[in-house]
Structure 1
């Protein structure tokens, strides 16, 4: 097995702990408090979600609507609750960690944009914030990460997926590599050792989500996983320390 090609800054070949929407087991997800707590815990990275609101700001929020049902793409920034932050504010809070930015652009959701304007806006912001190895941009929509790669080829990109079965692994790895992408982000319950090995053979990293079970973490570390995206970064760090 060859080593993976992409490594985030400061990784030193250590399995990475990505705080899922920040330290979301102890703070409200996707908030500055959650990101600050992840840093205090010692997470290597934060995973967060980004969407556009009506006034054009990039907003960090997982769902297309607020808890009261109002759609984010129909609201100006000033109409959003105070805990909902912008991408720029989130990145400031995450200084010292690398950040996995998931671009939300689902054709089944009301803010879907086939022009991929959000990808262009994210790339433009990140260009002004330092070296590309501080970021990893992901999406479930392949066209979105393709657009991101076209906008800034040096920026690492990853494909999010619910499943890649063993029979598909070789084709998926070859397609991602040929398209210039850096990583696969598969759902933890469907991930196999064969998929990890195949991605590594093609020079791709594998970061899995969302994993809070210590026993499964230990198994994946044995298999050579590159990153654990978890609501409990403190637990993941403890498991990594025990399995060195």
Structure 2
């Protein structure tokens, strides 16, 4: 299988379009169809969310609980709706793209796990699937990406955050870089040009989520943002192509 490699600041060939849960504006999110469609559109990458189900498989789903109220970590894989893929199935659908894998491990959700079993299981799987540069692992929980770094230091990692205040940017950047992380993923509504500049000065990539407005995309590209995580990768790709003319 052909797969792109994720690139750090100054390495990637131009801004990266990351399909948020696949091409989720036109297909059901976090499904193999959404990832196939994202690849067909020409996306550089796909973003997806992972959790553990009761039978031990790593599955791709954003919420901890299904629409019927049942928690994924209490159900075997055979009991889950058929559209929910395993991580391996999802990655196989992401041909020609690198993949941002978000570890879901929130203290407010029923599958929260301080032992980081999900991170451990994911690393074991990815080690069987080729070089680490194919993936970029992120999580809101700093301990989860710190665990990934300790298990496989060559595997690129990023801290996912609602936002970083301008006055905290330098200390946050230095902390992330010192821990071996390679990127930060701030929310599009809180991101400032100052934060982008400071992160780049510390060798970190900045991939922002989730941006579907072309005007905001253009502003972020002017700031030098490295990745746009979007539900509409076709719109972002068209904008980048137009700006390159």
Query: Do both proteins adopt the same fold according to a TM-score greater than 0.5, normalized to the shorter chain?
Result: yes
1:3 counterpart residue number: none
What is the DSSP-based 3-state SS (H/G/I as helix, E as strand, rest coil) of the residue aligned with 1:172? helix
Does residue 212 (structure 1) correspond to residue 212 (structure 2)? The answer is yes
What is the DSSP-based 3-state SS (H/G/I as helix, E as strand, rest coil) of the residue aligned with 2:171? helix
What is the DSSP-based 3-state SS (H/G/I as helix, E as strand, rest coil) of the residue aligned with 1:95? coil
**C-alpha displacement at 1:19, in angstroms?**
0.2
1:130 counterpart residue number: 130
Does residue 195 (structure 1) correspond to residue 181 (structure 2)? The answer is no
**C-alpha displacement at 1:12, in angstroms?**
4.5
Pairing of 1:35-46 with structure 2 (within 5 A) = 35-46=35-46
Pairing of 1:1-244 with structure 2 (within 5 A) = 7=7, 12-244=12-244
What is the DSSP-based 3-state SS (H/G/I as helix, E as strand, rest coil) of the residue aligned with 1:36? helix
What is the DSSP-based 3-state SS (H/G/I as helix, E as strand, rest coil) of the residue aligned with 1:188? coil
**C-alpha displacement at 1:211, in angstroms?**
0.3
**Deviations for 1:23-50, whole angstroms, at most 9, x for unmatched residues?**
0000000001100000011100000000
2:3 counterpart residue number: none
**Deviations for 1:80-136, whole angstroms, at most 9, x for unmatched residues?**
010000000000000211000000000110000000011011111111111111000
What is the DSSP-based 3-state SS (H/G/I as helix, E as strand, rest coil) of the residue aligned with 1:160? strand
**C-alpha displacement at 1:158, in angstroms?**
0.3
Name stretches of at least 5 consecutive residues in structure 2 with no aligned partner: 1-5
Output the TM-score relative to the length of structure 2. 0.95
After TM superposition, the runs of 4+ consecutive aligned structure 1 residues lying more than 4 A away are: none
**C-alpha displacement at 1:13, in angstroms?**
2.3
- Separation in 1, partners of 2:239, 2:95: 24
What is the DSSP-based 3-state SS (H/G/I as helix, E as strand, rest coil) of the residue aligned with 1:129? coil
- Separation in 1, partners of 2:14, 2:127: 26
